[in-house]
Amino acid sequence: MGTTRRALLIGGGGVIAGAAGLAGRRIWLDREPAALPAVDGSGRLLWQNWAATEHSYPATRLAPKSADEAAHLLRRARGPVRMVGASHSFTGLVTTDATLVSLDGMTGVLGHDAATCQASVLAGTRLYDLGPALAAIGQEMPNLPDINKQSLAGGTQTGTHGTGRAFKAVHGGIVAFDIATPRGDVLECSATSNPEVFNAARVGLGAFGVMTRYTLQNHPLQRVKKVTGLRHREELMEGWDDLVRRHRNAEFYVIPFSHYGQLITHDETDEPVRPRGPDTDTDGQMKLKMARDVFEFAAPLRFWTLDRVIADMPDQIAIDEGWKLLSNERSVRNREIEYHVPRENQIAALREVVAAIERTRSDVFIPVEVRSIAPDDAWLSPFYGRESGSIAVHTYYKDDYAFFYTLIEPILRRYGGRPHWGKLNSLKYDDFAALYPRWKDALAVREALDPEGKLLNPTLAKVLRRG
């Protein structure tokens, strides 16, 4: 929310700060959570995810530098063996008291084919490093997620996505991969080589093996125009289908307890470069938080104040290569639930979610994110076989998020939603089996690769094994 949050900082500061004395009750609630011990009683170092929702003290940490080394280490390692990238998943996918495997020693572009616009990339490469590396060879990924801190393996294994009706999630660009299995093998997988593993493990939660290398189908570098502006939220919801059709990429955010939302679009252009300005996300979110703190128990006044701060703000425009504009800084720590519903159900579900928040959750201030994703054929992809619309609800990291499961999740499930694999949810084996047509096929492949369950921690055992 660049422009919106910047204006809140400038134009709304006087209105909000004038009532800041009313927010005293928040001083107690805003205490920093107690830090976990950096080392446990056995001398094991702490691992904790970005959102501070999960942690563990692994006994062994490994960082292979090649596929063969990964296979050798995996065969000998004590389970549960879990892989870690940027630690940006909110769920317990990574936790283990046994073996933690980092791919930070396996990064970079290995080679490329200019004729096909494909590139071979090591699995530990962070997306923020991959952008300039591909640009140097005249390529870019066709789409990017909202943030680019993830490793390539971590992002694709959890179904990380951007937005755009014609664009698949990040894993949609994978044409081949190499995977090290618990048996000590390295398998080359594609649509024609080990096709069942290719279909099952492209989005595999790190439960099939250690991903070591990807071949990506990229696009030639393309300049895009990014337009960020405030619109009435009813206009955004009523016109969402048209926005998705008209723009290369479109997404919007509903600002809780206001009548506005922020629209972000990207379209191809030949206009001169106009670099993006400084990031204002942190300042903006803190001003929305201040409005929450002051007017938490006065919703009409909160609406009135935010609407007047936001109204008549100019659009913000940036023009550059797509990889420079599609991802954003999101430095305010939060907790998140995100579901992907059939696109035809998206706005109806969104209306119910926003109404529920504004009816019962006056503590929520981070905007609700709305995106569109094309279907694909990866068996465990949340977008398998259907065009999807995502709805993401966030809370500040110091605030309660139990309502995700009691208030938000039931709405999104009723509309046929599948949860983002890296975001908070309460689903178990039977729930997923009902949502994924190739669920049992994918799990049969997994069991064949890891019959001893070496890659299953307690979180994954609840998801991938009945009972």
259 and 399 in a single domain? The answer is: yes
208 and 305 in a single domain? The answer is: no
Domain stops at, among 397, 419, 441:
419
302 and 261 in a single domain? The answer is: yes
298-315: pLDDT as tens digits = 999 999 999 999 888 899
Contact 334, 396 (CB under 8 A): yes
State how far the Cα of 75 lies from the Cα of 78, in Å rounded to an integer. Answer: 9
pLDDT over 70 for what percent of the chain? Answer: 94
387-444: pLDDT as tens digits = 999 999 999 999 999 999 999 999 999 999 999 999 999 999 999 999 999 999 999 9
200 and 325 in a single domain? The answer is: no
Q: How far is CA 437 from CA 41, 305, 378, 443, in A?
A: 45, 48, 11, 12
Q: What is the DSSP letter of 274?
A: B
337 and 359 in a single domain? The answer is: yes
Q: Are strands 388-396 and 368-373 parallel, antiparallel or unpaired?
A: antiparallel
Residue 40: its pLDDT value, please?
97
Residue 25: its pLDDT value, please?
66
Residue at 46 is within a domain: no
Residue at 338 is within a domain: yes
Of 49, 70, 80, the C-alpha closest to 150 is 49
Q: What are phi and psi of 364, to 5 degrees?
A: -80, 130
Kindly report which listed range (27-31, 146-150, 298-302, 339-343) carries the lowest average pLDDT score: 27-31
Amino acid letter, 40: D
Length of the chain: 467
- Domains: count for the chain: 2
Contact 182, 81 (CB under 8 A): yes
Q: Where are the alpha helices (DSSP H) in 223-362?
A: 233-238, 240-246, 281-295, 299-310, 322-325, 346-360
- For the segment 88-111, the average pLDDT, to the nearest whole number, is 97
Residue 299: its pLDDT value, please?
95
* pTM across the whole model: 0.94
Domain of residue 297, CATH code: 3.30.70.2520
143 and 258 in a single domain? The answer is: no
State how far the Cα of 332 lies from the Cα of 351, in Å rounded to an integer. Answer: 25
Residue at 58 is within a domain: no
130 and 13 in a single domain? The answer is: no
State how far the Cα of 389 lies from the Cα of 353, in Å rounded to an integer. Answer: 14
Domain stops at, among 419, 435, 451:
419
Domain that holds residue 152: 109-220
pLDDT tops 90 at residue 2: no
Contact 436, 380 (CB under 8 A): yes
268 and 320 in a single domain? The answer is: yes
Give me the residue label for tokens 């080589």: 193
Q: How far is CA 265 from CA 6, 164, 274, 275, 330, in A?
A: 18, 9, 15, 16, 18
161 and 304 in a single domain? The answer is: no
Residue at 457 is within a domain: no
Q: List CB contacts of 424: < 8 A, sequence separation 6 or more.
A: 53, 90, 91, 335, 336, 337, 401, 404, 405
